[in-house]
Structure 1
Amino acid sequence: MKREQVRRRLAIEPYTQWEEGVESPGSACGPATMAALTEYWNSRQGVRQVRGKKAFGSRAAHINHIYRHHGGRPWGMSVHGFTKGLKAYLAESLPLEELRGRLSIRTLTDIAQYKAEIDAGRPVAVKFDKWFHFRWRGRYAYDYHWVMGMGYEEPAGGFGPVLIVHDNGVRYRDGSFARGQERLIDYESNQEIMTMVAVNIKI
């Protein structure tokens, strides 16, 4: 029996690490992903204690705050730095005792867990890193990059799952840039260099 295509997609406001006002755009993909994630919890999930872009005046200022205070580095943001920075960012506005009972941040190990998060209405931060995983010669969607996982597809005909992500934008050689866009990423050909971070705040 032929399998029908399945598609799940969350409405995520795209952030762009290259937009005007971002102070360290070349290494801001982690902070941009964290900013988009916290904006989602503020505006889409209605957790008003989580500060979104309105608290900073713009997406660029939101990214800059996270970069300066919650793990931004010229060489990029590690998974440990991301999870630590996210918890510290949330603790700026949610009391620690409240966080302990409401917040869950965990690393996912497979596509089934990723799909369960999307199905539950929760986006997932996705890190590509072939250097840390010692996959020097592979061809992947990204060598080293954070993106926002905001959906998935299961194509018809038995093909493998596809992640739907926002890419945080692209800078061109002439200095111009494209804003964050939706991209489709084949899971099976990239899974060996991906780490996925899921966040849940009990409402």
Structure 2
Amino acid sequence: MQIQLPLQGLSQYDASIHPNYQASACGPVTAFVLLNYLLPNACPYTPNDMYSKLGGTRIGLFTHRFIRNTRKIIGPEWKVVKCSLHSALHELKSGRPVALKFDKYFTFQWNKKFTFAYHWVPLIGYEIKNAELFLIIHDNGGRNRESTIRKVRYAENASVLTFVQITPN
């Protein structure tokens, strides 16, 4: 079984992103991409605007800021909350991508290997293959590398993942 939404990604290292923001722009870029998918042409902000509106820092975007400030941007018609894996998969089945944060530092798992140490990405789908769950993400790119769709093993990353859903009220 596989679900994959047709979301247009963006590299956090795109030329349109301010050079001082690029290294830590994954959260604002993820929010920008999700809002443009959920509310086509309704988000008046650029990724650079989102960086300051969401409260981005040089070390990244904290989950509580992502949630609180995304709520302020999109208003009371939308619910922005942390959610479980089960809820995230339900959102994908309903046609809505989910923000996904990998964070080994604030989960105090420094010595383990994960797909990303600290990174926000749009979760755009999933696949179950041989009874194993794979998350389909739109990686926000890297220096000299465009945003690409990747599959990551849920089991290898589960302990460092945080899901944030953006759902109409």
Question: Mapping of 1:55-134 within 5 angstroms?
Answer: 55=44, 62-91=46-75, 99=76, 102-110=77-85, 112-134=86-108
8 A Cα contact 1:117 1:123, kept in partner: yes
| Offset, 1:106 | 1.7
Q: Can you list the C-alpha shifts for 1:151-196, whole angstroms capped at 9, x where unaligned?
A: 00001x32x100000011111xxxxx11110010100110100000
Q: TM-score under structure 2 normalisation?
A: 0.94
- TM-fit CA distance, 1:109: 2.2
Say whether the 8 Å CA contact 2:71–2:79 is kept in structure 1. Answer: no
Give me the whole-angstrom Cα distance separating, in 1, the residues matched to 2:141 and 2:50: 18
Are 1:11 and 2:9 matched, yes or no? Answer: no
Give the ranges of 4+ consecutive aligned residues of structure 1 lying more than 2 Å apart after TM superposition.
Answer: none
1:36 corresponds to: 33
Q: Which runs of 5+ in 1 are unaligned?
A: 1-5, 57-61, 92-98, 172-176
1:124–1:196 Cα contact (<8 Å) kept? yes
Report the CA distance between 1:20 and its aligned residue: 0.5
Q: Distance between the aligned counterparts of 1:146 and 1:30, measured in 2? A: 5
Larger Rg: 1
Residue 153 in structure 1 maps to residue 127 in structure 2: yes
Give distance in 2, aligned partners of 1:122 and 1:21.
26
The aligned counterpart of 1:192 is: 159
Structure 1 residue 69: Cα displacement: 2.1
**TM-score, normalization by structure 1:** 0.79
2:136 corresponds in structure 1 to 164
| AA partner of residue 107 (structure 1) | K
SS at match of 1:30: helix
Per-residue deviation at 1:147? Answer: 0.4
Amino acid at match of 1:38: L
Structure 2 residue matching 1:198: 3-state secondary structure: strand
Q: Relative to total residues, which structure has the larger strand share, 1 or 2?
A: 2
Equivalenced residue count is 167
Cα distance, 1:21 vs structure 2: 2.5
